[in-house]
Chains A and B, each alone.
Chain A
Amino acid sequence: MMLLRLISWPYARKHLLRWLLTMAGIVLGVGVFVGMHTANQSVLAAFRETIDKVAGTTQLQITAGEPGFGEEVLEKVQSLPEVRAAAPVIEATVSTGQGNLLILGVDMLGDRSLRTYDLEGTDEAIDDPLIFLAQADSLIVTRTFAEKNGLQVNSRVPMRTMQGDLIFTVRGIMKPGGLASAFGGDLAIMDIYAAQKFFGRGRRFDRVDLALLDGVTLADGSAKLRALLGSGYEVSPPSSRGEQFEQTSRIYSLASNITSIFALFIGMFIIYNTFAIAVTQRRSEIGILRALGATRSQIRTLFLTESAIAGSIGSGLGVLFGIVMAHAMASYIGNILTEVYGVAQRADGIQVDPVLIGGAWAMGIVTSLFAAVIPARAAAYVDPVKALQKGRNQALSEGESLLRRWAAVGCAAAAVIAVIFSHSTAIFYAGFVLGGVAAVLLAPSLTLWLSRFLRPLLAFLRPVEGTLAADSLIQSPRRTSGTVAALMLSLALVISLGGLARSSYDSLADWMRIALNPDLFVTTAQSVTSRTFVFPASLGDGLRAIPGVDEVQLVRSVRVPVKGGPVMLVALDIGSVERRAKLPAVEGDAATMYRRTERGEAVLASENFVRLHGGKLGEVLEIAAPSGVLKLPIAGIVRDFSDQQGSLLISRQAYIRFWNDDSVNVFRVYVKQGAQDSDVRQRILDTFGKQQRLFVLTNKDVRDYVTRLTDQWFGLTYVQIAVAVLVAILGIVNALTVSITDRRRELGVLQAVGGLRQQIRHTVWMEAAAIGFIGLVLGLLLGAVELYYAIEISRRDLVGIDIGYAYPFRTALALAPVILIAAFLAAVGPSESAVRGSLVEALEYE
């Protein structure tokens, strides 16, 4: 404690700006980590909370994937003696002017056995239950939604339904709390039979919620229900829906985890750099302490304690910053997940997990301590005699450099070997880590070499300033290498993610060209992924009769349980698809696989389904359907990006037969040659637009939508990239501030012998530009390697799709001016500090 008070505290006060910059690294690293995780967790927690609140006293739910099942299932379930109450449910999310509204279609007669509807002003479920049931336009809304939209009992609410534009009437308002707080309070209750009609569900329910008689265990009840309904139905507690969603959105969580950990990793280099510099600067202090009898252990502990304190404060601020970030990101992430997975979320508030906060705080401290281990060890081994000789320890010893270089070569060689044996996941990831370690170990030597390489160029540009700037880098590689490493890692992240994005866009463009080639798409929503409303199949005949329409393909997309998880099943007219939009075959006989699938004898699996779910050509898949388990082999593997979790293409006829569902999500419309898309579009709207909810999207609209969705997907990644670059730029500021402080005497002497202020400024600027340049070169090189890993990770564990390697040269070119300008801006403060300081003080320095 005494050492901290007498030695560390005065040093920290004297170099307050640097400490603040160091902590900014930790703040950003921890902040991004906490922000991403808290936002993700909040979205998942909000989803679970909605499930929980909507479930009421429901103990078990009967489901059969998204298509739901016929009404007869309800009677079967209700007939089971062990069932106390069973009520059908339809859940639908509709877009209102003020965001999404979750509509719960329930049977008001029996539903109150499972859910409590706490209405305002009366103990009735609604003002007049008979009117509620008799009038299909009846809605019960929550107080939250009513206040947000200025509604009262008998207010009118317009809604676009499958029966056209209708006006609904508010017949009851629920008090806040309980069910009314589900989905952030944006909830409305509708009669289930009205919901069937307005959402185009036919005589189907999404699920049946039930409660068992007292004394019947969940296990017994589930077993009886499974035996009653057969294997095509899932019987599970409400909480399992949350698990399914987590499984579905796993990719997003994993991707955000990887990038947030990367941000923290970059922050670690800033800390390392700061402490390495501190040790260098305080070597005389350390020497005196050692001469006065301080043990190596005490010196090491002193530095580690300083690091722990800095880490603790930085992590604390990072946690606060992360929480603020999470507030901003939660609804954004919710929207992305809604769009990408078609499952509505509502995370208006955030849920702060104490374990996560504690973990992140501890992680920040551990990272800080880890980053300080090497500098602390260096401090402990400072030779008291050499310590008083200024500049002696700044250069890397040849032995030290050699050792690092050999270690780097070893790691790089191991990484290359790991690539050869990369079929093993563990070896692949080990190779990824070793590659990064090799780059980091090599960074000091490369920095030194590149500084030497730059010296003539800088000297050529400005003989005095350029030489001074280059020499400063060459003489103090430790001061620079950490910053360069951080910058290198940041830029490698930019390149790898930028490259991944570009490759993804290229692959998507190829797929869209083949798969999304209809001229028009008739959908139930502006969002192509929304599956709330469905069309009757009969609309297809109506569309075919529109002048100018050449062909109409009926598509039904639903998530159904396959291999233990929800998988997108796309039911369509396979023969027509083969003719019009034949997907590239990855495996299988292209000539026969479509025919077998069309006959309902097999399915086509997407490449990513096979990768992510472990399938193979010829494997017989078991697909749970209400009429039993459908066993179909994989006849072919095709490249299809319909769903991130993979998709299965099935004949529409087979789907109708097994799911007893002939509804349609999307009609793909091909226009006759010579006919104008816009004319046909208008005719469709004129004919059907007023009768029912219907949107006609052009091919461009759909492509733009997919591209926008991809932009959103990568949107947060770009934010993380920006944070990573910001952390690295902070590193440059830090390194330059140290450089100025370190050379205050030298710079003072320069000024004293007639050096102009402008020359001092140029020196600092050139040093900054050189750091930026070196970081840029190394970052672009490492980025090329990281891009390979990013594509591989994406293929193996994220989306399961082979995307081509395409180095993002445009991004690299754009980065050059960005980094050099950022380096220059980072140098402005330190350079002004260098020229505006007191000359007398500078000459007295140290």
Chain B
Amino acid sequence: MNRLLLAPALSLALLTPCAVAQDARQIMQEVQKRQHSTSQHYEGTLEVIGGGNRIATKRWIFDRLGDFGNSKGMLRFTVPAEVKGVGLLIVNHPDRASDQWMWRPNIGREQRIALQDRSTRFFGTDFSFEDLEERDVEQYDYKFLGEEAGTWKLQSTPRKSSQYTYGYLWVKKDNYTIVKIESYNKKGLVRVIDYRDFEQAKGIWTARTTEVHDVTRNSRTILKYDKLEYNIPMKDAGFTLDALRRGA
């Protein structure tokens, strides 16, 4: 469900809003189409705002090779010094949940993130490991719910294993960017993700700021994207366990 690493960016399509408004899947296919890129690179700054407004700041570098449902991602923390070198390799699959491995240089070994642990928080942020997955639109069922302030409101229901039972998405009519996601589980609302500060990078509308609100913990994480690049040359060898172990 997550679009965090997708860095939502949509180009202005010439689709007729009225024509697609009634077909939620078509809307999402268009969102995916406009975000298409063969690779992505950015440097992210994370601010985790916990209890008592205490702010913890971290930075990471992210690379992605491939696209929806069949991509590979490598995330590497750079700041603060205590966590520098900690990495995460994500291998997305079109037909099942992703494989994820974490690298901890201090221990000198990788650790597979079990499927059952995907709902746990990603390194103290308000994202879960599952939120880091990049799933194809075909892995969800969609339902059109209506229009709200220049957006289409859709309901998405995952077809494969997920911590979420369903979610609501708000897609801007003018540029097909997702501006907000609400994710629910059996107990109710779990997370709210807001996408802001959209800019075009290589023709792809990209949110420069993503804010995640963990409703149950009442904490927030703000992710800001710098040095964003799309469609740059990357090698498959940079997205393997060996590459994870080698470090940045």
Chain B associates with chain A: yes
Binding site for B on A (CB under 8 A): 74-75, 78, 83-86, 107, 109-110, 112-113, 122-124, 128-131, 133-137, 191, 193-194, 197
With known contacts A78-B115, A134-B86, A135-B82, A128–B56 Cβ distance under 8 A:
yes
Could you mark each residue 99-133 of chain B with 1 if its beta carbon is under 8 Å from any beta carbon of chain A, else 0? 00010111111011111110011011000010000
Q: Is B56 touching A123 in the complex (CB atoms < 8 A)?
A: no
CB of B234 closer than 8 Å to a CB of A: no
With known contacts A131-B82, A133-B86, A112–B120 Cβ distance under 8 A:
yes
Complex interface: chain B residues within 8 A of A84 (CB): 116
Q: List 14 A-B contacts (CB under 8 A).
A: A74-B114, A78-B116, A109-B114, A110-B117, A128-B124, A130-B58, A130-B77, A130-B86, A134-B83, A134-B85, A134-B104, A135-B106, A137-B106, A193-B107
Chain B min CB distance to A107 (Å) = 8
Closest to B217 in A: A123
CB of B66 closer than 8 Å to a CB of A: no
CB of B233 closer than 8 Å to a CB of A: no
Complex interface: chain B residues within 8 A of A130 (CB): 58, 77, 83, 86, 123-124
Q: Is B120 touching A124 in the complex (CB atoms < 8 A)?
A: no
Q: Is B83 touching A136 in the complex (CB atoms < 8 A)?
A: no
With known contacts A112-B120, A129-B124, A197–B107 Cβ distance under 8 A:
yes
Complex interface: chain B residues within 8 A of A75 (CB): 112, 114
Q: Is B50 touching A122 in the complex (CB atoms < 8 A)?
A: yes
Chain B min CB distance to A772 (Å) = 69
Closest to A85 in B: B116
Q: Is A134 touching B113 in the complex (CB atoms < 8 A)?
A: no
Q: Is A193 touching B111 in the complex (CB atoms < 8 A)?
A: yes
CA distance A148 to B112 in the complex (A): 37
Q: Is B123 touching A133 in the complex (CB atoms < 8 A)?
A: yes
CA distance A193 to B109 in the complex (A): 8
Complex interface: chain A residues within 8 A of B85 (CB): 134
Q: Is A86 touching B116 in the complex (CB atoms < 8 A)?
A: yes
Chain A min CB distance to B214 (Å) = 11
Complex interface: chain A residues within 8 A of B51 (CB): 122-123
CA distance A472 to B129 in the complex (A): 92
Known contacts A130-B58, A130-B123; 19 further A-B pairs (Cβ under 8 A): A75-B114, A78-B115, A83-B116, A107-B111, A109-B117, A110-B114, A110-B116, A113-B116, A113-B117, A129-B121, A131-B83, A134-B77, A134-B82, A134-B83, A134-B85, A134-B86, A134-B104, A135-B106, A137-B106
Closest to B124 in A: A129
Interface centre among B50, B85, B113, B124 (most CB of A within 10 A): B124
Closest to A137 in B: B106
Chain A min CB distance to B84 (Å) = 8
Picked from B56, B82, B120, the residue with its CB within 8 Å of the CB of A109 is B120
Complex interface: chain B residues within 8 A of A135 (CB): 82, 106
Q: Is B107 touching A136 in the complex (CB atoms < 8 A)?
A: yes
Interface centre among B102, B111, B113, B115 (most CB of A within 10 A): B111
Q: Is A193 touching B86 in the complex (CB atoms < 8 A)?
A: no
Chain A min CB distance to B95 (Å) = 16
Complex interface: chain A residues within 8 A of B80 (CB): 131
Interface centre among B58, B104, B117 (most CB of A within 10 A): B117
Which residues between 163 and 201 of chain B lie within 8 Å of chain A, taking CB atoms?
none
Complex interface: chain B residues within 8 A of A197 (CB): 107-108
Closest to B119 in A: A113
Chain B min CB distance to A128 (Å) = 6
CA distance A802 to B190 in the complex (A): 68
Chain B min CB distance to A494 (Å) = 57
Complex interface: chain B residues within 8 A of A124 (CB): 50, 124
Q: Is A109 touching B113 in the complex (CB atoms < 8 A)?
A: yes
CA distance A772 to B51 in the complex (A): 77
Chain A min CB distance to B243 (Å) = 19
Complex interface: chain A residues within 8 A of B112 (CB): 75
Closest to B114 in A: A78
Closest to B48 in A: A128
Complex interface: chain B residues within 8 A of A78 (CB): 114-116
Chain B min CB distance to A120 (Å) = 12
Closest to A74 in B: B114
Complex interface: chain A residues within 8 A of B121 (CB): 129
CA distance A130 to B129 in the complex (A): 13
Closest to A108 in B: B120
Closest to B83 in A: A134
Chain A min CB distance to B86 (Å) = 5
With known contacts A113-B116, A123-B217, A193-B109, A129–B104 Cβ distance under 8 A:
no
CA distance A792 to B109 in the complex (A): 55
Complex interface: chain A residues within 8 A of B50 (CB): 122, 124
Complex interface: chain B residues within 8 A of A113 (CB): 116-117
Chain A min CB distance to B221 (Å) = 12
Closest to B120 in A: A109
Complex interface: chain A residues within 8 A of B217 (CB): 123
Could you mark each residue 112-156 of chain B with 1 if its beta carbon is under 8 Å from any beta carbon of chain A, else 0? 111111001101100001000000000000000000000000000
Chain B min CB distance to A444 (Å) = 75
Chain A min CB distance to B77 (Å) = 7
CA distance A134 to B104 in the complex (A): 6
Complex interface: chain B residues within 8 A of A193 (CB): 104, 107, 109, 111
Could you mark each residue 28-58 of chain B with 1 if its beta carbon is under 8 Å from any beta carbon of chain A, else 0? 0000000000000000000000110000101
Closest to A126 in B: B124
Q: Which 9 residue pairs of A and B lie closest in terms of their CB atoms, listed nearest first?
A: A129-B124, A130-B123, A110-B117, A134-B83, A136-B106, A109-B117, A134-B86, A131-B82, A193-B107
Complex interface: chain B residues within 8 A of A137 (CB): 106
Complex interface: chain A residues within 8 A of B113 (CB): 109
Complex interface: chain B residues within 8 A of A136 (CB): 104, 106-107
Interface centre among A134, A137, A193 (most CB of B within 10 A): A134
Q: Is A129 touching B123 in the complex (CB atoms < 8 A)?
A: yes
Chain B min CB distance to A89 (Å) = 14
CA distance A133 to B86 in the complex (A): 9
Complex interface: chain A residues within 8 A of B114 (CB): 74-75, 78, 86, 109-110
Which residues between 198 and 232 of chain B lie within 8 Å of chain A, taking CB atoms?
217
Chain B min CB distance to A168 (Å) = 12
CA distance A829 to B160 in the complex (A): 89
Chain B min CB distance to A497 (Å) = 52
CA distance A110 to B129 in the complex (A): 12
Chain B min CB distance to A154 (Å) = 12
Complex interface: chain B residues within 8 A of A131 (CB): 80, 82-83
CA distance A128 to B81 in the complex (A): 13
Chain A min CB distance to B150 (Å) = 37
Closest to A110 in B: B117
